[in-house]
Structure 1
Amino acid sequence: MADLFNIGLSGLRAAQTNLSVTGQNITNVSTPGYSRQTAIQTANPPGYSGAGYMGTGTKVVDVQRIYNQFLTNQVRTTTSAAAANHAYNIQIEELNSTLSSTASGITTGLKSYFAALQTSIEDPASLPGRQLFLSEAQGLAGRFNSVHQQLATQNQFLNQQMTTVAEQVSRLAVSVAGYNDAISKAAANGAAPNDLLDARDEAIRQLSEYVSVTVVDQGDNSINLFIGSGQPLVVGKEASVLQTKPGLSDPGRLDIQLVSGNSAQDVSDLISGGELGGLLRYRDDVLDQAFNALGRISLAIASEFNQQLGKGLDLNGQVGSDLFGDINSDAYMDLRSRGREGNRSDAALDVRIADTSTLSTSDYELTFTSDTEFTVRRVNDNRVLGPFDVNAAEGEPGYAAFDGLDLSGQTGNYMEGDRYLLTPTRNAAQSLSVVMTEPQQLAFASPMTAQASLDNRGTGNVNQPLLTSGPQPLDLDRLKALGVEFSYADNGDGTGVLTSTNPPLSIDVTLGQPFSWEVDGHEFSMTLSGKPLDGDSFSVDFNSGGVADNRNALALAGLQTQQVLGKGEGARGFSLLDGYGDLVQKVATFTAQSRTETEANMAMLAQATNNRNSVSAVNLDEEAASLIQFEQYYNASAQIIQVARTVFDTLISSMR
């Protein structure tokens, strides 16, 4: 009777354990990361009797979680990729809206700016027309300032978000290290602590939302976590700290540091995946380029218009002055370079813009290889330029000029090993401003005028000359002394020679084709057409009282379509509108790609999660069926005990 009683009792215990496991599954159906569990049951060793070996019941030898390491890893990997793309997409969608907006974008401002210029060209003496153009110039500068500020605000948000994410990563790393310790202690009893293992896996999955991690199983129920290219985040029960710190080269951008013990390593360029990886990728690949492209356009507008206005005369008969602020002012140059923390010298670098048409949209890293020589690495393509010498004069080897920048003539006491970050275009848009205050100061007139002599026998005509180059700024008294009296000699084949005695000039001309000459450092261009005869004369004089002259204004309008950007290294270049359109197009393309990648990654994450859930997640229908099954099992085992008791009572009664 004792054997039957023990068999029934073992069944009760097994049924009770199964009921407990099933109840645990049901109550954790909504617990994140929970893996359903099952009791592993086996028969007790049989005992020998005269009739052979007889069973002695059952026992539960283990409670296992239904778990697939491959599917769990797949969920973690797709979680990291989806989080990175989602964070990237949120930021680039905002940038795309900012740049393409008709209310705040640059395209609308440029079109209104040139439209107002065209209006003033039609009546160059009209003050209202000039005032309209001046107002549109101020509006255009305001648009550049506003867009730059929105990008700067986004950069500040990135800094705040990166700090928050780094704190979350550190918190979860400490949590995983704690689980490692608890699991190791619990596993010393010989059984796997299923709930702790699930909690650790869920913590790692949450960690993957913030940064991509590599999980290495140590074989003793503990795991190590690594980020980047193998930097340890969690080793056993020890966790490192991820923190943000102002960049060594640019304090306005936060870098990511991994702090382990007393050492700190910059891992900004090593991190990938997760929200943090997505934010860093957006900042490096998109936001910085947007800053630089916008700044380059603003520099070109200021430089090209200031230079062209400087070649004309205003309504007061004075040489043209700047419409926009000087791009090489101290305020501009202070924003273009920053010494790296740890430099032995505190000397600053003056980065002057020599030619806006050849500027790139790259930042540069400058390193002094001696106290006077340095090399420059262009960040966009990692090309190393130089070596350059700060003391080299123009035309000498090592003259410090490249990509439209001029770094010659530095006066600081630099030291070997000093490093600088050069950002020649990044902050330019915030400094664009209109410095002209009076519409009369707009230099729409060309400084020289030409005419054919009334005594000429031929029908030759000259168009009005344009000043193509000259000293900046122009000197009014020198301009007034640049008059030339040309005499024509015909070659009889559509060509001829123009000569003058004061100054002495001899110019070969082709009728209908532009020709140029230089006087006192001023170069002019003009065209002779018609049928001039020998001895015909043409005079070029200072344009006194040229109120209705709009020739320089027409040259200003021509800047709308001229290739004034992107002409570095022999490239054809493109116009101002095309330059901004290219920026908008690139961001729009990246945005479309991001949307596609985000949708694809979310679908992959959903599929990976479903695959994992199909194996490990709790199914209430299955658990309800198991609950009924084990309840019946329990009742049946209790019935065995009842039968054993009845038989035992019968036996006792028969012996009385």
Structure 2
Amino acid sequence: MSALLNTAITGIRLNQTAMSVTGHNIVNANTEGYTRQSVIQSTNPATATAAGYLGTGVNIDQINRHTEKYLVDQVIRDMGVLSEADAYLVNVSQVNNLLAADQTNLANTMNGFFDAVNQAVNDPGSMLGRELLMTQSQQMVAGFKAIESRLLEQNSAVNKQLQGAADNITSLGQQIAALNKSIGDAGSGNGSPNDLLDKLDVLVQELGRYVNVSTVARDNGAQDIFVGQGQALVVGTASQTVRAIPGATDASRFDLVFQSKSESKVVNRLMTGGEVGGLLRFRQDALLPAIGSVGLLATSIAAGVNEQNKLGMNLEGSLGGNIFRDVNDPRIAASRVKSSLNNLPPNDRELNVTIESLADLQVSDYELKFDGPGKKYTLVRLSDNKVVADGLLSDAMPQSVKVDGFSLNFEGGSYQVGDRFLLKPTSSGATDMSVQIKRAEEFAFASPIRVQTGSANQGGARVLSSRVMSVDTPLFSKDGQLTPPLMVRFTSPTTYDVLNYSDPANPVHTDPPMRNLSFVPGSDNSLFPTEPGGLTLTSNGLAAGALQVGSASNGYPGEELRFQTTDPETGFIRYQQLTVVADESAASMARRLSGLNGVQATAYTETVIAGFDASDAGNDLVIQLNGKDVTTAGWLSGDPLNNIAPDPSYSGNMPDYLRDKINGSADLQAQGIYARSDGSKLTVYATSGVDLNFSLSGGGSLTVDQGADPAQTVSAADVDPQFTVGGKLQMQLAANTQVFSNRNDGIVGSTPELKANYLGIDVVMASGSGADGAPRAGDTFMIGYNRNGSADNRNGLSMLALNSKAMLGGENQTYQDVYGQLAEKVGILTSQARVNQNAGESMLRQSMDALQSVAGVNLEEEAARLIQLEQHYNASARLITLARDLFDTLLRI
């Protein structure tokens, strides 16, 4: 009897509990994060009887949560993926709309400026076009500043979102830690605190919206929480504080830090996934490149237009200046460096960044780190985390490091291990941009040089173009004039000299001389050295051009020439060597020297002859030059025995007569030899640099004035009546080149003098077609200052060409290319983000459906279960009634 009653009671208890759990499921069916529960039951141990084991009813083992950890984790991951995609898409869409909108499109802004340039240069003397350009310049600056301001506002919005996310992460961590404690306390009794575990899952899922989350379960059901790439947020009942604070080197960019009482650890790179991951990725992938590209464009346009304007002449006849604020203004250069707040005192570091090469600039900021030992530094490009420079600072200041188109200048200070600096070469370009000129007359559309053709020219050489490449040379040291004005004078159809034309009646060679330079008929010829820092060496050794009387050789002893060129950026030294053999002509040396890298050599020979005594008692002076007859026997007095009459072309002036004979010899012309006469002296030239060897016979003498000091007389009666004058060399060398010789008595000399040859201008000429198209010896072209050139627009056209000139990206991109690339990149990122968001929604929906299929409450199933439990309960109650009736029957017996 008692066994039956006890069995019935266990059934009643089980069904009461089961109905309570089912009711709990039903009423919490719409509770967020609720997990369906059920009663786990088992049979009570049976009692042994004589007839066998007799059952004793049912036992409640536990109330079970229907969940699967891998499904919960999948939901958390997918929730983080979607949250990251949402945060990224919302922000990148704003940048995309900003770059593409007509009102803020920088492509339109830049085109507007260059359209105004085009209108102004079409009529360079008109003030209307210049005033319009002034207005458009200001509007372009305003356009750059407007888009930069919007981008900086979005950067501030990202900072605020990071602050909110950090506060929420901290709050959720604290709630999870408190819940862990409650779970631990509840777990000390019997059973699992299912509702607390549901709350824990809800908090973890909420945390997953902000950052990647991974969990480690404890024995009591509590969880340790790790965020990002394994950063411990909650361990047991202890939680970390996460904050978003201004960056140590750039307060405009907030850093995420794990903060404790003793230190703050920056964890930007470690906080991935969720809203935080989306914000940080957006800032790195889209926002900072956009700010950097806008800054690069502003810097490049300001620098390019300024540089071109300085190469021109303004409406008032002066050299142009900066239109926009100088990109290397000392204040701007210093503002490009941000010192970390964590740098140790004293605060005495002085360093700045100046722009050197627009073509090499990168859309990136840089970090300068002093990690030691001593003053060892590393410069890292932040866009790809690549080390672009490293080294060790010496105690001597200033020092500079050139990399990626800018120069990092250390001016002074006590740099210490642990110092950090953020370098922003171009990011703030729009902030720094402003119109500097005050009057429209200051636009320099004219070129400051003018080339005039000599009125007596007979050849067909013509000027194709002339341009100014730099005004920072002595040629432009005085405003309103060239110092000195120049003359290009052709010495033959294939050679020319550049002369100082300060005295038109007496042009002289420049210093350094530019003589006997090569001109190629039928080709475009650049007449001046175009390499800044280029050098000229003119041979000045003891043997160069020396007179060798009684000899057919030039007297050159032979020497070893060594060329040393140093790369100023890398310090790499390139060596080249050439051996000059004894008696080698300057023409041969020039050909071989021109085969070396960075060397362009020419040669010339020159001698002056005077004091002619042409006849000795009817025995005429016979002269041969390089084996060719200049005069012949009997040319002056005749030779009746041989039926030779005097030369009728001789008019009584020996220098003029010899000049005509030399210039009329095709054989000598082929060697580049020609002559000039002033009536008393004969100057003989060899434009090729061949030796000039004169042989005398017959009777008489002459005096050699050049190549000898004092002048020497050579007579036909000498034992060896001949003399030779060797050529001289002129070498145009690459910058930072030194030349050494192993002999003091050679043609070059042991310590040759090198002089800068860069004038900052270039004139391109070509010959005409046909037999008369080549230049003639004596043709001249004068280069002077372009006075009264208000109608000239050559420099303005060069300024206009900047819009289509590939000046950026290694000289492969125009301004429009850079902006187009930025807009295209942001557009692609936006499209990808939209795809990622749609995929994230789909993935989250699937994972939540999978979890709901296990943990969700189905009201129909629960209602059916409730009916079933009611029947079980009634049956158990009937057992109790039966036991009571049996007991009453026994009492009545």
Fold agreement, TM-score > 0.5: yes
Distance 1:528 1:486, change over 3 A: same
Distance 1:465 1:502, change over 3 A: farther
Q: After the TM superposition, which residues 46-445 of structure 1 pair with which residues of structure 2 at under 5 Å, given as runs?
A: 46-49=46-49, 51-343=51-343, 344-346=345-347, 347-368=349-370, 369=372, 374-379=377-382, 380-387=384-391, 389=393, 399-408=400-409, 410-445=411-446
Distance 1:263 1:372, change over 3 A: closer
**Of 10-19 and 194-203, the range deviating more from structure 2:** 10-19
Question: Is 1:515 aligned to residue 526 of structure 2?
Answer: yes
- 1:249 is paired with a residue whose SS is coil
Distance 1:615 1:416 in 2: 58
Quote how far apart the aligned CAs of 1:100 are.
2.1
Distance 1:59 1:220, change over 3 A: closer
Normalization by structure 1: what TM-score?
Answer: 0.92
Alignment length (residue pairs): 644
Contact 2:480 2:785 in 1 (8 A): no
Name the counterpart of 2:662: none
Contact 1:177 1:237 in 2 (8 A): yes
Deviations 1:572-611 (A, max 9, x none): 5311111111111222222222222222222222211111
Contact 1:392 1:399 in 2 (8 A): no
Question: Is 1:534 aligned to residue 757 of structure 2?
Answer: no
- 1:517 is paired with a residue whose SS is coil
Contact 1:468 1:525 in 2 (8 A): no
Normalization by structure 2: what TM-score?
Answer: 0.68
- 1:479 is paired with a residue whose SS is coil
Question: Is 1:641 aligned to residue 652 of structure 2?
Answer: no
Question: Is 1:624 aligned to residue 624 of structure 2?
Answer: no
Contact 1:393 1:399 in 2 (8 A): no
Name the counterpart of 1:525: 763
Contact 1:81 1:601 in 2 (8 A): yes
Distance 1:86 1:472, change over 3 A: farther
Deviations 1:315-356 (A, max 9, x none): 111211211111112442243111122323312322111222
Quote how far apart the aligned CAs of 1:157 are.
0.9
Deviations 1:181-233 (A, max 9, x none): 11111111131111111111111111111111221123332321223443321
Distance 1:58 1:408 in 2: 86
Partner of residue 592 from structure 1, selected from 831, 834, 844: 831
Distance 2:150 2:394 in 1: 37
Distance 1:353 1:624 in 2: 77
**Of 422-431 and 342-351, the range deviating more from structure 2:** 342-351
Quote how far apart the aligned CAs of 1:498 are.
4.9
Distance 1:254 1:306, change over 3 A: same
Distance 2:146 2:286 in 1: 18
- 1:269 is paired with a residue whose SS is helix
Distance 1:605 1:389 in 2: 55
- 1:243 is paired with a residue whose SS is strand
Distance 1:233 1:538, change over 3 A: same
Quote how far apart the aligned CAs of 1:438 are.
1.8
Gaps of 5+ in 2: 500-506, 530-756
Contact 2:292 2:363 in 1 (8 A): yes
Distance 1:381 1:260, change over 3 A: closer
**Of 474-483 and 578-587, the range deviating more from structure 2:** 474-483
Distance 2:374 2:42 in 1: 81
Quote how far apart the aligned CAs of 1:292 are.
1.7
Q: Which has the larger radius of gyration?
A: 2
Gaps of 5+ in 1: none
Quote how far apart the aligned CAs of 1:646 are.
4.1
Deviations 1:543-566 (A, max 9, x none): 111111110011111111222112
- 1:477 is paired with a residue whose SS is coil
**Of 398-407 and 199-208, the range deviating more from structure 2:** 398-407
Q: Which amino acid aligns with 1:276?
A: V
- 1:485 is paired with a residue whose SS is strand
Distance 1:38 1:261 in 2: 46
Distance 1:550 1:388, change over 3 A: farther
Question: Is 1:551 aligned to residue 794 of structure 2?
Answer: yes
Quote how far apart the aligned CAs of 1:260 are.
3.8
Distance 1:403 1:370 in 2: 26
Question: Is 1:484 aligned to residue 479 of structure 2?
Answer: no
Distance 1:130 1:99 in 2: 29
Distance 1:389 1:236, change over 3 A: closer
Quote how far apart the aligned CAs of 1:387 are.
1.4
Deviations 1:457-480 (A, max 9, x none): 334332452102231896553634
Contact 1:351 1:406 in 2 (8 A): yes
Distance 1:535 1:116, change over 3 A: same
Distance 2:447 2:523 in 1: 21
Distance 2:313 2:392 in 1: 40
- 2:434 is paired with a residue whose SS is coil
- 1:210 is paired with a residue whose SS is coil
Deviations 1:247-299 (A, max 9, x none): 12212211111124544322122111111122112222332222222211111
Q: Which amino acid aligns with 2:799?
A: L
The structure with the largest helix share of the pair is 1
Quote how far apart the aligned CAs of 1:12 are.
2.4
Distance 1:525 1:579, change over 3 A: farther
Distance 2:878 2:418 in 1: 88
Distance 1:617 1:453 in 2: 100
Name the counterpart of 2:496: 497
Distance 1:524 1:584 in 2: 38
The structure with the largest strand share of the pair is 2
**Of 152-161 and 82-91, the range deviating more from structure 2:** 82-91
- 2:481 is paired with a residue whose SS is helix
**Of 502-511 and 6-15, the range deviating more from structure 2:** 502-511
Contact 1:345 1:414 in 2 (8 A): no
Q: Which amino acid aligns with 2:526?
A: F
Deviations 1:95-137 (A, max 9, x none): 1111222210211111222222122222112222222222222
Contact 2:42 2:61 in 1 (8 A): yes
Deviations 1:127-183 (A, max 9, x none): 222222222222221111111111111111111111111111111111111111111
- 1:124 is paired with a residue whose SS is coil
Quote how far apart the aligned CAs of 1:35 are.
0.9
Q: Percent identity?
A: 33
Distance 1:72 1:472 in 2: 75
Distance 1:64 1:647 in 2: 38
